[in-house]
Amino acid sequence: MVQSNQRQWFDDYIAALNRDDLEAVAAFYAPDLHLTDGMIECQSAGAAMESHRRLRGRVMQRLEVVSYIDRPGRIAAEIRKTEQAQQDVPDFPGAPLAKGEQRTSIGFVMYDIADGCFIRIRAAPYKAAP
């Protein structure tokens, strides 16, 4: 349950993303999820999952929570994201990735939660990590 241990619930979400477990990831999204990160915008959980599926097997992603703050119904996190292309990805959001290329970025993300699911995820545009 989100209210009793919101941090553990969030860590479970990050772990699902890191292991590319799309079935587990989908369980965190409300049907009417709105997700935006400066490169993509999704108006539903289905659209967000389609975005995940497009990159599955093509880009390995690793997320690390650098800092975390929460209150009931909201999480703010600083997240380091490392993405590595498993093959050429000419349609990668932001800029194409060549096989083997790795990008690391850090961003601030706000998550709004209702009824045990994310209803809105807003990320500041990512910047390359130093």
pLDDT at residue 44, rounded to an integer: 97
pTM of the model: 0.90
Question: Is 1 contained in some domain?
Answer: no
pLDDT at residue 37, rounded to an integer: 87
Structural domain containing residue 59? 6-128
* Selection from 127, 30, 13, 128 nearest residue 70 by Cα: 13
- CATH number of the domain at 18, please: 3.10.450.50
Question: Is 102 contained in some domain?
Answer: yes
What does the radius of gyration of the chain's CA atoms come to, in whole angstroms?
14
Task: Name residues of the chain where pLDDT drops below 50.
Answer: 1
Given a contact cutoff of 8 angstroms between Cβ atoms, the answer to whether 110 and 121 are in contact is: yes
Question: Is 124 contained in some domain?
Answer: yes
pLDDT at residue 130, rounded to an integer: 59
- Number of domains into which the chain is organized: 1
pLDDT at residue 94, rounded to an integer: 82
